[in-house]
Amino acid sequence: MYPESTTGSPARLSLRQTGSPGMIYSLFSRNLGKSGLRVSCLGLGESLVFSFQMAEQLMTLAYDNGINLFDTAEVYAAGKYVSFLTGRMQCRRSSLVITTKIFWGGKKYTACKTSSQLPPPPGAPPVFAEYPQVGPQAPQSPHPRPAVSASLLTETVRAMTHVINQGMAMYWGTSRWSSMEIMEAYSVARQFNLIPPICEQAEYHMFQREKVEVQLPELFHKIGVGAMTWSPLACGIVSGKYDSGIPPYSRASLKGYQWLKDKILSEEGRRQQAKLKELQAIAERLGCTLPQLAIAWCLRNEGVSSVLLGASSADQLMENIGAIQVLPKLSSSIIHEIDSILGNKPYSKKDYRS
């Protein structure tokens, strides 16, 4: 799929030691795509927390344990998440890599609104409205949501180039774009001497594999676009917490997550839970939890630059970070056993190593 030792490949890893007291983990850092930007292979993304105090605790804990990548969005905490992150973290701003997703315009809309309540995506102005409050002191990567037309795609590439040229960000990437849209953005950038994206944010977990394992490798080899993946636990499905139904206060029990509840209780959801019970046996043999196995499984993909974690408590975050210790245990035989249980390994006719 990906080369094992090609210069610039995200497969080339180096240990990043943190100097925090009591630190028991050493996180690998990887290049984001074929760019020179180094990020921790685990990042902190959207977390289901109900107070800024808990959010601050999780961000500080993540940083103290080697995580330097923090993923935000204009709608997280009604658009205040980025300024909160940069203002409250007790560390050098230059040591952080912050990514921000932009699409809906941010300041007028809150995170509690569903996509059906939101208007069509605006043009470039929200990009410029969001970034001056952050500043250019550290690597930052905006991730526009999917473009809807060729003209809007061209405007998006121009807007992102302007953002970088103005010092508001150092790189930009895409989120939930199709492979065709990313290639078109790259072509536009080359045609008009603009700056192309360096990575794609994509959903990736044991039950969602096609894009990251088949489509993105081609983009990596052709244009250097890396993968920053999210939802390694499939909104908690892979954690095993739903094997006996919907527990109180879980994500699927909350208002606005009926779609997740329906998915879990569906026939496909029941089949997934049966597979997870088989995977639990593998986790026990390896001396880890099922979530740790699932996250390590995502990290074993040489094309994944970073896996974004979500956590609602300090204990959950530390458990997820512990996946780093499981990664060396995932031998080829273990991976084959997992693939046999899942039965969904995507097939690609192309060999991108040639």
Burial of 136 (0-12, 13-18, 19+ CB in 10 A): middle
Task: Give buried/exposed letters for 46-78 (b at 16+ CB in 10 A, else e).
Answer: bbbbeeeebbbebbbbbbbbbbbbbbbbbbbbe
Place of tokens 């952050």: 134
Q: How far apart are CA 217 and CA 96, in angstroms?
A: 27
In this structure, the dihedral spanned by the alpha carbons of residues 315, 318, 320 and 322, taken in order and rounded to 10 degrees, is: -130
Per-residue tokens: 255:
């208002």
Q: Is residue 76 flagged as an active site residue?
A: yes
Whole-number Cα distances in Å, 210 to 11, 259, 298: 19, 22, 13
Per the rule left: phi > 0, alpha: psi between -120 and 50, beta: everything else, 277 is alpha
Beta strands 97-102 and 140-144: pairing type? parallel
Question: Pick the catalytic residue: 2, 76, 186, 242?
Answer: 76
> Phi and psi of 299, rounded to 5°?
-70, -25
Residues catalogued as catalytic: 76
